[in-house]
Amino acid sequence: MANQSQHYKKLSLILDQLPWYVDEYINHKKRKLSAASLLNYAHDYKIFFQWLKNEHLHSAEIKNIPLDLLESLTTQQVESFLSFLQYELDNKEVTVNRKLSALKSLFNYLQNIAETRDLQPYLKRNVMAKIEFNEIKESMETIANKMEGKILMGDEYEKFRQFIATDYGIAIKDNKKLFNFHLLNRERDTAIVSLILGSGLRLSEVVNLNLDDIDYSKYTARVIRKGNKEQYVYFSRLAMDDLKEYLQIREERYKVEKSNKALFVAAAMGPKGTPRRLTARSIEKLIEKYAVAFGKPALSVHKLRHSFATRYHIEINDVPKLRRQLGHSSIQTTMIYTHISNDDLKHAVDKMDIPKDDV
């Protein structure tokens, strides 16, 4: 899939700056994690090791930080690092937890999996095992309530789709440059939004789609999910209709060569440019543009995924199937959608104020 090779190139550049045992750990995880996940891990480790040097716990290059330094770290020093993340880098509690999780995984490998030639662990003492995660105070209901105002509900699904297909063009018709740009891309943009709203695909999964990943008879898209797992994800008939409309104009309008297998493409830049795969940032920007004009500026690619999941749960009410559709590793992540738009609960609460004789 696209972008995998780019991620691995970036990963290799970062690993060149990190200690050898981090490189060994990343190689150990390659069979289980995607290139994007490994790259995130490497970024987190670079921040940690650079902090060790900045705190004068090591004087040479971070690449040369020895295992005995990790073994000698105190819980107070690790807590100081976590405070640095939260109060100096402005990381949210959930982000601090994610970076701590990455460090816990590395230290666990060094203590319990990796072995020297004489069958001794790399680390005999694991300070990260003593560090607790931040307690995320928000309940699922609170998170769901915050999300509800930022996603599409009810007839907004079709209104947003129609807005991209036609109404946005009408709204900006007096700006010739914007209008012509919309004319060029409206079928493509409609297909992208329709596909996310009709499947719940992640941004990276949409970006990496190739032409031959679509099964037109089964209404499925082949994607590589987190953990490098291949999965065929179902999408709606409306999404298929919009996708087919885009594919009818894709090759001629974007001047795409047959060798370019990217599903969603961008027009060539400049006279010598060539059409290219649409990037993640480009898709984010086009959604942001339409969201602001539509009157829901908080709407994003990820919120479109949430919109699909909420609608699916309301109509199907099958959490295990929704979990598979979204590619969640934990069902707890999927359970958040059971707290959005809980009309049965609202009705029950409303009935409490009605005199019993009237119920």
CATH code at 43?
1.10.150.130
Of 160, 182, 158, the closest CA to residue 170 belongs to 182
202 flagged as catalytic: yes
For residues 123 and 55, membership in a common domain is answered with yes
Q: Is residue 358 part of a domain?
A: no
For residues 180 and 35, membership in a common domain is answered with no
The tens digit of pLDDT for each residue in 182-239 reads 999 999 999 999 999 999 999 999 999 999 999 999 999 999 887 778 899 999 999 9
Which of 35-44, 63-72, 265-274, 294-303 has the highest mean predicted lDDT (pLDDT)?
63-72
Lowest mean pLDDT among 15-24, 36-45, 220-229, 245-254: 220-229
Position 359 pLDDT exceeds 70:
no
Higher pLDDT, 312 or 22: 22
Sign, Cα dihedral of 289, 294, 295, 300: negative
SS3 call for 215: strand
Selecting among 45, 246, 290, 337, the annotated active-site residue is 337
CB 225 within 8 A of CB 205: yes
Of 183, 77, 88, the closest CA to residue 130 belongs to 77
The tens digit of pLDDT for each residue in 309-347 reads 888 877 877 778 888 888 877 666 677 666 555 444 344
Q: Is residue 356 part of a domain?
A: no
For residues 101 and 225, membership in a common domain is answered with no
pLDDT tier for residue 149 given thresholds of 50, 70 and 90: low
Q: Which of 108, 137, 166 represents a domain boundary (last residue)?
A: 137
For residues 116 and 179, membership in a common domain is answered with no
43 flagged as catalytic: no
Amino acid at 355: P
Lowest mean pLDDT among 127-136, 286-295, 314-323: 314-323
Q: Is residue 18 part of a domain?
A: yes
pLDDT tier for residue 276 given thresholds of 50, 70 and 90: very high
Write down the mean pLDDT value for the chain.
86
Higher pLDDT, 135 or 208: 208
pLDDT at 55: 93
pLDDT tier for residue 351 given thresholds of 50, 70 and 90: very low
Q: Is residue 293 part of a domain?
A: yes
For residues 157 and 208, membership in a common domain is answered with yes
Dist. CA 323–CA 88, nearest whole Å: 36
Number of domains in the chain: 2
- Percent of the chain beyond pLDDT 70? 86
337 flagged as catalytic: yes
Selecting among 305, 306, 311, 313, the annotated active-site residue is 305
For residues 128 and 246, membership in a common domain is answered with no
pLDDT at 311: 84
pLDDT tier for residue 40 given thresholds of 50, 70 and 90: very high
For residues 181 and 305, membership in a common domain is answered with yes
Q: Is residue 313 part of a domain?
A: yes
Distance between first and last Cα of the chain: 58
What is the span of the domain harbouring residue 8?
Answer: 4-137
Question: How far, in Å, are 100, 134, 276, 290, 306 from residue 79 at the CA level?
Answer: 10, 11, 45, 43, 34
Residue 337, domain CATH: 1.10.443.10
pLDDT at 236: 92
Q: Is residue 251 part of a domain?
A: yes
Selecting among 202, 306, 311, 313, the annotated active-site residue is 202
Over residues 7-19, mean pLDDT: 93
pTM listed for this prediction: 0.59
For residues 161 and 240, membership in a common domain is answered with yes
For residues 325 and 186, membership in a common domain is answered with yes
305 flagged as catalytic: yes
Lowest mean pLDDT among 128-132, 240-244, 268-272: 268-272
Q: Which of 110, 137, 164 represents a domain boundary (last residue)?
A: 137
Selecting among 161, 188, 306, 328, the annotated active-site residue is 328
Q: Is residue 359 part of a domain?
A: no
Q: Which of 89, 109, 137 represents a domain boundary (last residue)?
A: 137
For residues 151 and 111, membership in a common domain is answered with no
Q: Is residue 54 part of a domain?
A: yes
For residues 282 and 168, membership in a common domain is answered with yes
Selecting among 226, 253, 276, 296, the annotated active-site residue is 226
For residues 210 and 327, membership in a common domain is answered with yes
